[in-house]
Amino acid sequence: MNILLIEDDLDLGAALQRALEQAGLESVWVRRLCDGLETAERGDFDCVLLDINLPDGEGFVFLEKLRRQFSSVPVIVMTARDALDDRLRALNGGADDYVIKPFLLPELMARIHVAVRRAAGQA
């Protein structure tokens, strides 16, 4: 499984990438919105882990563009934003799941597997 990780925080991004690797998942980690868009266009990803607060824009922009181009790729939003408006905007905008930071890694891994199974048409 190949994961696109879009997270600007160095510590969290490195920890997530290590956790994905330990779970046997390949990942590409980028820290900016523009790099995420470019990487998504070039790669074949099974799931996207998306932070909303990025240095060069909001992840909502990425989500909107991704859904226009690669509509079936599952997207899990990971953010500290816990307002209902943000959750609704992400989910109604095409996110498959919404995880509020801080979260537990085992739960995130389970959510990744669920999202990928659903995208593949499996229960």
Looking at the predicted structure, is the pLDDT value of residue 70 above 90?
Answer: no
Residue 17 β-bridge partners:
none
What count of other Cβ atoms lies within 10 Å of the Cβ of residue 101?
13
Residue 69's pLDDT is 83
Looking at the predicted structure, is the pLDDT value of residue 10 above 80?
Answer: yes
Residue 72's pLDDT is 82
Query: To which H or E segment does residue 97 belong?
Result: strand 97-100
DSSP states of 20-48: HHHTT-EEEEE-SHHHHHHHHHHS--SEE
When pLDDT is cut at 50, 70 and 90, the band that residue 42 belongs to is: confident
Mean pLDDT of the chain: 94
Looking at the predicted structure, is the pLDDT value of residue 77 above 70?
Answer: yes
CATH superfamily of 2-119: Response regulator (3.40.50.2300)
Hey, where are the domains in the chain? 2-119
Looking at the predicted structure, is the pLDDT value of residue 41 above 90?
Answer: no
Looking at the predicted structure, is the pLDDT value of residue 97 above 90?
Answer: yes
- 98, 100, 102, 105 alpha-carbon torsion, rounded to 10°: -20
pTM score of the predicted model: 0.95
